[in-house]
């Protein structure tokens, strides 16, 4: 009931909102928790595209760092966990709008056996979806999509040993690079809040990746002394008004 009331409030309020100037990094996981058609995501982007322009993720991070394009309404996309529908549904829709996304993946989910994947979907991400294959990921990379690191096993990066951090961050990055035959410069930590990563883990991420993403403070471009890009969570089956409500928040550097 609480979520229903919240959604009604956001939908109603969002009708009267307009997208604020700036570059908005959106973060999703799938079109919806159930197996929904790609047309739902297409319709959302079609309506959103009437109010904003879409920008590739590589161009977005550079523009944010250089403080350019601030008088435009721009949106870029990221997706976590590497579910199969990122390849079969989401990427084709993004291509229809001549834009890309960063897909942050967990190599353990891709490489895992049936028991591993069952535990991953039931106890970690809590949604019954299949992962992309390495072949799918390689094809996305060849199409111009960014493939990023999301830890090896989708773990919370707090209180881990040095060996655990090496495996979850560096070995994970190496596995992606081995499969793509290309560097992996993007990292997004799991769960996204600033409390979901500690200082030691953050240093490992920053030392091994060029761009690191979190999910707190979405009205501000950066967290952790301008080291981390902040994203705003949505999903592909949200209403346009719901999305507009959050995109109406003014973007700030401080």
- Could you read off the pLDDT of 197-254 as tens digits, one per residue? 999 999 999 999 999 999 999 999 999 999 999 999 999 999 999 999 999 999 999 7
Mean pLDDT of the chain: 95
Predicted pLDDT at 7: 60
Token pair, residue 254, equals 């401080």
Predicted pLDDT at 174: 98
Q: Is residue 126 part of a domain?
A: yes
Q: Is residue 252 part of a domain?
A: no
Domain total for the chain?
1
Q: Is residue 254 part of a domain?
A: no
Whole-number Å distance between alpha carbons of 222 and 51:
24
Token pair, residue 99, equals 């834009």
H or E element in which residue 116 lies? helix 114-119
Q: How many CB atoms are closer than 10 A to CB 72?
A: 13
pLDDT digits (tens, 9 = 90+) for 2-43: 554 556 566 567 565 799 999 999 999 999 999 999 999 999
**What pTM does this model have?**
0.96
Whole-number Å distance between alpha carbons of 63 and 90:
24
Predicted pLDDT at 254: 74
Whole-number Å distance between alpha carbons of 251 and 75:
12
Predicted pLDDT at 43: 98
Mean pLDDT of 163-181: 98
Ramachandran bin of 171, using left for φ above 0, alpha for ψ from -120 to 50, beta for the remaining angles: alpha
Predicted pLDDT at 8: 59
Q: What is the DSSP letter of 226?
A: T
Task: Answer positive or negative: Cα dihedral of 206, 212, 215, 216.
Answer: positive
Give the range of the structural domain holding residue 109, as residue numbers without chain letter. Answer: 2-247
The CATH number given to whatever domain includes residue 107 is: 3.20.20.370
Whole-number Å distance between alpha carbons of 234 and 250:
17
Judge whether residue 56 has pLDDT over 80. yes
Predicted pLDDT at 12: 66
pLDDT digits (tens, 9 = 90+) for 94-119: 999 999 999 999 999 999 999 999 99
pLDDT digits (tens, 9 = 90+) for 145-166: 999 999 999 999 999 999 999 9
Q: Is residue 157 part of a domain?
A: yes
Q: 253, 238 in Cβ contact below 8 A?
A: no
Q: Is residue 253 part of a domain?
A: no
């Amino acid at each position: 009931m609480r979520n229903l009331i919240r959604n009604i409030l956001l939908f109603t309020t969002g009708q009267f909102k307009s997208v604020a100037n700036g570059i908005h990094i959106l973060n999703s996981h799938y079109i919806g928790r159930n197996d929904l058609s790609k047309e739902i995501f297409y319709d959302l982007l079609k309506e959103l595209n009437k109010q904003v322009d879409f920008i590739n993720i590589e161009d977005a991070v550079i523009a944010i760092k250089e403080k350019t394009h601030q008088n435009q309404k721009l949106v870029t996309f990221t997706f976590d966990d590497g579910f199969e529908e990122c390849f079969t549904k989401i990427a084709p829709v993004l291509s229809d709008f001549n834009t890309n996304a960063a897909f942050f993946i967990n190599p353990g989910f891709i490489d895992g056996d049936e028991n591993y994947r069952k535990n991953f979907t039931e106890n970690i991400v809590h949604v019954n979806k299949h992962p992309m294959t390495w072949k799918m990921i390689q094809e996305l990379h060849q199409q111009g999509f960014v493939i990023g690191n999301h830890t090896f096993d989708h773990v919370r990066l707090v209180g881990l040993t040095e060996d655990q951090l090496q495996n979850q961050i560096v070995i994970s990055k190496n596995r992606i690079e081995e499969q793509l035959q290309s560097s992996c410069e993007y990292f997004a930590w799991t769960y996204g809040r600033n409390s979901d990563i500690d200082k030691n883990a953050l240093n490992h991420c920053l030392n091994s990746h060029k761009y690191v993403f979190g999910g707190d403070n979405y009205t501000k471009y950066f967290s952790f002394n301008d080291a981390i890009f902040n994203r705003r969570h949505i999903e592909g089956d949200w209403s346009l008004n719901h999305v507009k409500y959050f995109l109406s928040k003014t973007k700030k550097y401080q």
